[in-house]
């Protein structure tokens, strides 16, 4: 059985089911049936507005957003979940932080739900650095279906990669 690199850490019976779908050539179909909504967030400006609107709704109190952009150089393999850079500079003893959010370009053409999932993930990092309980609590606060979406997004990346071979 091939390693499913986007699904490392999921239980063996789950992986076996995914593997079976791949072998039957049905993974894409299953995903398409479930996620048939595209989104219209095409440019970095639109992406900024989109992320900012989510932040306004759920995380008004956290640090302001810096840049928000699609990044075609993000390696989906290494950073499947985007990166969240904290740019901190010390000014006369005071720490000033602004937050830059980069989202892999693959999400520009992904179903709407996956863009939302990745945006929620990156926004949650404004408050929680680690992938711990507090972090995922925040994710599910912003998107109740977060865990399912993250899993399905990993399936989506697995499918894209299989198609590209």
Quick one: 81 or 123, whose CB is closer to Zn ion? 81
Can you give the binding site for Zn ion, defined by CB under 5 A? 81
Quick one: 133 or 165, whose CB is closer to Zn ion? 133
Residues 86 and 52: beta-carbon distance below 8 Å? no
Shortest spacing between CB 63 and Zn ion, in angstroms:
16
3-state secondary structure of 65: strand
List beta partners, residue 86: 99
Quick one: 67 or 79, whose CB is closer to Zn ion? 79
Which residue minimizes CB distance to Zn ion?
A: 81
Residue 43 to residues 35, 40, 75, 112, Cα–Cα distance (Å): 22, 9, 19, 15
Shortest spacing between CB 81 and Zn ion, in angstroms:
5
Helix (H) or strand (E) holding 88: strand 83-91
Shortest spacing between CB 130 and Zn ion, in angstroms:
9
């Amino acid at each position: 059985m091939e390693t499913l690199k986007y699904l490392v850490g999921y239980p063996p019976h789950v992986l076996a089911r995914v593997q079976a779908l791949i072998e039957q050539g049905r993974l894409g179909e299953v995903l398409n049936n479930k996620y048939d909504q595209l989104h219209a967030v095409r440019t970095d400006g639109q992406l900024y507005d989109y992320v900012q609107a989510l932040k306004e709704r759920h995380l008004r109190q956290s640090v302001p957003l810096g840049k928000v952009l699609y990044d075609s150089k993000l390696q989906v393999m290494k950073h499947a979940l985007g990166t969240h850079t904290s740019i901190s500079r010390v000014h006369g003893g005071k720490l000033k932080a602004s937050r830059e959010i980069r989202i892999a370009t693959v999400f520009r053409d992904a179903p709407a739900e996956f863009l939302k999932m990745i945006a929620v993930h990156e926004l949650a990092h404004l408050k929680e650095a680690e992938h711990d309980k507090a972090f995922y609590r925040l994710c599910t606060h912003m998107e109740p279906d977060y865990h399912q979406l993250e899993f399905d997004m990993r399936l989506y990346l697995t499918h894209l990669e299989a198609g590209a071979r």
